[in-house]
């Protein structure tokens, strides 16, 4: 697991290191510069041409990092030069100190920007504190830097990328390498910032966790898959979890199939699909391993299926008929009374958005909601009161728009989770998993554009159910429901990455993701490289 921080969190952690631990800021700056140089030299080792490097620096401490980088490169024998931006009177104490040291070591300082003459550009203009659009001379310089063909390095994060959201503040430097310090920044995880950073290196500069500043955001890493419980040697299909998939209206058996396939791929021992009788033959043909529950049996069939299962998935291809609504309410109510986890997806969420009275089934339950942006927009109208203040004060009497949600994924997921007592898996190019009980969210970093294909969400619901089964079968499990959901989302993304490697992002389909999930878990089981 890697911690992710925003700009204010990073400043607080930096301050604790300086004032609380007694580490001078100049020491941290020197370590940051050395880390950037080390990353750059690793790249230069693969290049034969002679380097000519320009460090473009602002007046803040990020600029001081850049000046120190130029000096170290100069002392290592590289042709490195400094170009300063901004009012000299507004430079920080540390930046002025670094400029004096660079002068003493005779590091060249250039007055005219001729970016096209350099093989490497280092961006040290703005750091994590930038919160306004870039204008004037700064904008002109960044535009000029973006237009040259040099190899480009960003210090901490590309100038113009908001450290908290990843939004482009008017214009942003386009880096091939970003060396960030101590912790990954939130803005490096979300688009468009994620597309502007190139390769990310998180460098240890001497700033560490502080108990007074607990983590609020994190991302899973491949090594974290080792926390997924292995299948017990003395287990059986019943002990490995029974998943009920309430899905598939007439002619919509594909969603039910993909969900069930995902659950099996992630390790569920048994899967039963409760769906329309019309879907029986195609489902039993496509997936004979799954059991079929005839929806025509009515309430008795529903009750029997509920008592049989450990986990319920509601929604894939379900439709929004009156019967689908009754079925959804039935399973939400019974799962609450019986203490069984529920995954609410697709039409289950669409039905929920129309029935605000169902909120009573969510509180104090084990419910995971998996909305995409459109579903979240519909849910926000009746299931979020927090839009009455803060960012969305103007949205009190309406649903949040998709652009509003997309620009505030963490805020939206966190508030929806907290207000409704559910784990919220808010799906986008970068998926956010919010915990309803803690001020904490997971930011998923696996996956690729090829996963934006029909049925991918159905596979995710199944994989989530399978992962919940795995943790449920472990008697010593201490992983909370939100983290279990994060594991499922992460596994789904890794499976998408494996499918893309085999099929390409254009040709991969949802079924490829499900099959690849099984391969990812096989690699994890055999300790192979994921």
pLDDT, one tens digit for every residue, the chain (530 residues): 999 999 999 999 999 999 999 999 999 999 999 999 999 999 888 765 689 999 999 999 999 999 999 999 999 999 999 999 999 999 999 999 999 999 999 999 999 999 999 999 999 999 999 989 999 999 999 999 999 999 999 999 999 999 999 999 999 999 999 999 999 999 999 999 999 999 999 999 999 999 999 999 999 999 999 999 988 889 999 999 999 999 988 888 999 999 999 999 999 999 999 999 899 999 999 999 999 987 876 788 899 999 999 999 999 999 999 999 999 999 999 999 999 999 999 999 999 999 999 999 998 889 999 999 999 999 999 999 998 877 777 787 899 999 999 999 999 999 999 999 999 999 999 999 999 999 999 999 999 999 999 999 999 999 999 999 999 988 888 899 999 999 999 999 999 999 999 999 999 999 999 999 999 999 888 765 55
Q: Which fold has domain 235-524?
A: 3.40.1190
User: What pLDDT is attached to residue 188?
Assistant: 97
The confidence score (pLDDT) of residue 528 equals: 56
Give the residue extent of every domain in the chain. 2-219, 235-524
Q: What is the DSSP letter of 363?
A: T
Burial class from Cβ neighbours inside 10 Å (0-12, 13-18, 19+) for residue 42 reads: exposed
Question: What is the structure's pLDDT at 169?
Answer: 97
Identify the residue whose tokens are 């949040």: 400
Within 411-454, strands assigned E span 423-426, 432-434, 441-443
Q: What angle do CA 78, 44, 222 make, to 5 degrees?
A: 140
Q: What is the pLDDT of residue 49?
A: 63
Please give the pLDDT value at position 527: 62
Task: Supply the pLDDT for residue 430.
Answer: 98
Give the list of residues 6+ apart from residue 31 with CB closer than 8 angstroms, or none: 205, 206
The architecture that CATH gives domain 2-219 is: 3-Layer(aba) Sandwich (3.40)
Q: Retrieve residue 498's tokens.
A: 């494996």
Looking at residue 48, its pLDDT comes to: 58
pLDDT at residue 530, as a whole number: 52
Separation between Cα atoms, residue 267 and residue 470, nearest integer Å: 7
Q: What backbone torsions phi and psi does residue 320 show, to the nearest 5 degrees? A: -125, 30
What integer pLDDT is reported at residue 320 of this predicted model?
95
Specify whether the backbone of 151 is left (phi greater than 0), alpha (psi in -120 to 50) or beta.
beta
């Amino acid at each position: 697991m890697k911690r992710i921080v925003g700009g204010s969190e990073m400043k607080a952690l930096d301050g604790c290191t300086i004032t609380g631990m007694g580490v001078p800021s100049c020491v941290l700056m020197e370590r940051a510069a050395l880390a950037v140089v080390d990353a750059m030299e690793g790249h230069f080792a693969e290049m034969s041409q002679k380097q000519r490097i320009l460090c473009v620096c602002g007046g803040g401490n990020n600029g001081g990092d850049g000046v120190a980088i130029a000096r170290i490169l100069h002392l290592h024998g590289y042709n490195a030069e400094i170009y300063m931006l901004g009012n000299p009177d507004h430079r920080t104490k540390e930046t002025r100190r670094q400029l004096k040291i660079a002068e003493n070591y005779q590091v060249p300082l250039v007055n005219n920007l001729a970016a096209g003459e350099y093989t490497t550009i280092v961006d040290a203009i703005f750091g994590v504190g930038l919160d306004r659009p870039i204008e004037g001379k700064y904008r002109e310089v960044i535009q000029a830097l973006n237009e040259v063909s040099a190899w480009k390095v960003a210090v901490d994060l590309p100038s113009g990328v908001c450290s908290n959201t990843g939004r482009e503040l008017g214009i942003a430097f386009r880096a091939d390498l970003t060396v960030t310090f101590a912790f990954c920044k939130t803005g490096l995880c979300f688009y468009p910032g994620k597309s502007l950073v190139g390769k990310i290196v998180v460098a240890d500069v001497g700033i560490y966790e502080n108990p007074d500043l607990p983590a609020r955001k994190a991302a899973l890493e491949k090594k974290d898959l080792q926390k997924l419980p292995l299948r017990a040697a003395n287990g059986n299909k019943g002990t490995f979890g029974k998943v009920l998939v309430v899905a598939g209206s007439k002619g919509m058996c594909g969603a039910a199939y993909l969900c069930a396939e995902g659950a099996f791929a992630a390790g569920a021992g048994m899967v039963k699909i409760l769906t329309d009788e019309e879907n029986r033959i195609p489902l039993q043909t496509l997936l004979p391993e799954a059991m079929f529950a005839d929806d025509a049996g009515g309430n008795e069939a529903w009750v029997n299926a509920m008592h049989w299962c450990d986990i319920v998935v509601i929604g894939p291809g379900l439709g929004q008929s009156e019967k689908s609504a009754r079925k959804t309410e039935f399973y939400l109510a019974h799962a609450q009374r019986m203490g069984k986890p529920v995954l609410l997806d697709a039409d289950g969420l669409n039905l929920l958005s129309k029935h605000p009275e169902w909120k009573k089934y969510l509180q104090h339950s084990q419910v995971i909601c998996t909305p995409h942006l459109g579903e979240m927009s519909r849910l926000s109208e009746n299931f979020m009161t927090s839009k009455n203040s803060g960012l969305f004060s103007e949205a009190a009497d309406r649903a949040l728009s998709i652009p509003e949600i997309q620009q505030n994924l963490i805020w939206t997921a966190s508030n929806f989770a907290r207000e409704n007592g559910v784990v919220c898996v808010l799906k986008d190019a970068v998926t956010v998993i919010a915990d309803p009980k803690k001020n904490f969210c997971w930011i998923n970093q696996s996956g690729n554009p090829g996963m934006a294909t029909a049925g991918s969400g159905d596979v995710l619901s199944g994989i989530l159910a399978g992962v919940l089964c795995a943790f449920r079968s472990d008697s010593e499990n201490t992983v909370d429901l939100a983290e279990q959901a994060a594991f499922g989302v992460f596994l789904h993304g890794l499976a998408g990455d494996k499918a893309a490697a085999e099929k390409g992002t254009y040709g991969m389909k949802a079924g490829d993701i499900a099959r690849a999930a099984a391969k990812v878990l096989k690699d994890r089981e055999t300790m192979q490289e994921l």
